[in-house]
Structure 1
Amino acid sequence: MSITADNLVWKIGKRTVLDGVSLQAEPGRMLGLLGPNGSGKTSLLRLLAGLKTPSAGRITLDGRDIGTVGRRSLARRVAFVEQHATTNANLRVIDVVKLGRFPHRSMFSGWSAADDTAVEEALARAGMVEKRHDLWQSLSGGEKQRIHIARALAQSPQELILDEPTNHLDVQHQIGLLRLVASLPVTSVIALHDLNHAAMFCDHLIVLDHGRVAAAGTPEAVLTEELLRDVFHVSARVERSTHHGRPHIHYLA
């Protein structure tokens, strides 16, 4: 497995945010993380990215404990796109993407042909080559999210972790962004708010409820009418989409 979490516990003071969470992210696949607000999704992602240390439990990358991996080595392998990522408004797009090469450069190394190649490939994958010289503040919300992903891809990661990257985007840009992530040759772990988007694009789902795993499996196995009622507290009908064959949720008034 690419990323494995075993019985994770995360506490803030006396409050338990995550309690006994286990998961496996398969290489080259998209793992979707779902749950109501406050269920622990962002905390779990930050643990998986190595930004926080679990109170108990273990996270491994290909069997190696993430705690034994150096910060720079980890940054070369795992890229994290935060929900509210910010960037200096005075930078050009290409300069923002170049920031992703920082983990690969030492204090004494100059900019290399390999760095140029990584940046160009990242811009191309994100579909933002034509915006390379635009100023950051001139971009739309969807374009900014694509550039954040391009910066993450410039790290040349094997794992990409994203915290609700479609928030505050219109539907067109949400779908476009998820298509982009699904097409990438990396293992991705992504927290999503829209359950139908998760059903469309994710290979496997984990549902959190009050810091515990409420369900795990394929979208077909996880997204049931019972789970929607018990975890998300909504009445809905779940049918198989005639377009993509995945579950489609129809919310009831």
Structure 2
Amino acid sequence: MSIKADNLTWKIGRKTILDGVSFEAQPGRMLGLLGPNGSGKTSLLRLLAGLKRPHAGRVTLDRSDIGTISRRSIARRIAFVEQHATTNANLKVVDVVKLGRFPHRSMFSGWTRADEEAVESALARAGMAEKRDERWQNLSGGEKQRTHIARALAQSPQELILDEPTNHLDIQHQIGLMRLVSGLPITSIVALHDLNHAAMFCDTLVVMQQGRIVASGIPEEVLTESLLKNIFSVEARIEISQHHSRPHIHYLR
């Protein structure tokens, strides 16, 4: 088992943001979280990462309620890259990535070979090894996103949660980043706006509207013309590729 949402409800004041949300992320697979703005995606991700507590229901990690697990233990298990993740200090790339090792180190422990290997592996996986000595402020938007993912990977997580990681990136960096995440041998949950990216890279999809799940399953079953019209208010034609059976969305004028 991996990470599971069980009948989650979360509110701000009297307003219900999430209403009875349930699903399970399959181990080692990529789950795409879709929905219009305001559908509750970011709030759901923060509950899954243990950063907020639900008003009802629970999040479980291998059947254990996340509310009973220490913050440090969660950070060793789950890495969360927020939508507007930033780094204030003008650190080197390698120093940003080293921050991911904090959950694994005590206050008085020195830097270990395991820490070094985790950082080097994360830099290599994220394609940032050659940029290790570059300063944060000199990086492109895509390089900053890859650095944040490298920092998350340095945590040695079993689950990786990303909130719209391709926002504000050019198409080359969007595709490269999605390929990177989909190729990782860990469970990933990714909130996305681009429906074709979701269809191309995700193993399963969960579609939300007004705090509720309205569809879930494999991309070719979930992404239908009627769903696009009813949930996303777009007219589209969907073709299924003969090579990999993934749907491709053609938006109509």
Cα separation, 2, equivalents of 1:88 and 1:51: 21
Q: Which residue matches 1:198?
A: 198
Give the letter aligned to residue 17 of structure 1.
I
Q: Is the 8 A contact 1:200 1:244 kept in 2?
A: no
Q: 1:90 Cα shift? A: 1.4
Letter in 2 for 1:176: G
Whether 2:146 is the aligned partner of 1:146: answer: yes
Equivalent residue, structure 2, for 1:12: 12
* Alignment partner, residue 30 of structure 1: 30
What residue in structure 2 maps to residue 87 of structure 1?
87
- Alpha-carbon shift at residue 178 of structure 1 (Å): 0.3
1:27, 1:132 → 2: CA distance? 30
Matched, 1:40 2:40: yes
Per the alignment, in what secondary structure is the counterpart of residue 231 of structure 1? helix
CA distance in 2, matches of 1:241, 1:47: 35
Give the alignment's TM-score, normalised by structure 2: 0.99
Which runs of 5 or more residues in structure 1 are unaligned?
none
Partner Cα separation in structure 2 for residue 210 and residue 84 of structure 1: 22
Contact kept, 8 Å, 2:83 with 2:165, in 1: the verdict is yes
1:29-86 CA-partner distances (Å, limit 9, x unpaired): 0000000000000000000000000010011001111011100000000000000001
Name the SS of the counterpart of 2:87 in structure 1. coil
| Cα gap change, 1:243 to 1:140, in 2 (>3 Å) | farther
- Give the Cα separation in 2 of the matches to 1:139 and 1:16: 39
Amino acid at match of 1:222: V
Secondary structure of the structure 2 residue equivalent to 1:43: helix
CA contact (8 A) 1:39 1:211 kept: yes
SS state of the match for residue 111, structure 2? coil
- Write the deviation string for residues 231-251 of structure 1: whole angstroms up to 9, x where unpaired: 001111111024542001111
Partners of 1:213 and 1:117 in 2: how far apart?
A: 40
Unpaired runs of 5+ in structure 2? Answer: none
Structure 1 segments, 4+ long, off by >2 Å, are: 241-245
What root-mean-square deviation, in Å, do the aligned CA atoms of Structure 1 and Structure 2 show?
0.8
Q: Does 1:61 align with 2:76?
A: no
SS where residue 232 of structure 2 aligns? coil
State the Cα distance separating 1:88 from its structure 2 match.
2.4
Q: Percent identity?
A: 77
- The equivalent of 1:114 in structure 2 is 114
SS of the residue 2:27 aligns to: coil
Q: Distance in 2 between matches of 1:128 and 1:112?
A: 21
**Is the 8 Å Cα contact of residues 220 and 245 (structure 2) preserved in structure 1?**
no
Q: Which amino acid aligns with 1:223?
A: L
Cα distance between partner residues in 2 of 1:9 and 1:126: 35
Counterpart residue identity of residue 204, structure 1: T
Q: Secondary structure at the match of 1:245?
A: coil
Q: Deviations over 1:171-197 (max 9, x none)?
A: 110000000001111100000000000
Separation of aligned partners in 1, 2:169 and 2:245: 25
Per-residue deviation, 1:89: 4.1
Q: Is the 8 A contact 1:77 1:156 kept in 2?
A: yes
Q: Which residue of 2 aligns with 1:127?
A: 127
Cα distance in 1 for partners of 2:151, 2:189 equals 17
How many correspondences in the alignment? 253
Helix, strand or coil at the partner of 1:156: coil
Deviation at 1:135, TM superposition (A): 0.3
- Aligned equivalents of 2:42, 2:59: Cα separation in 1: 16
C-alpha separation in 1, matches of 2:213 and 2:85: 27
1:179 aligned partner: 179
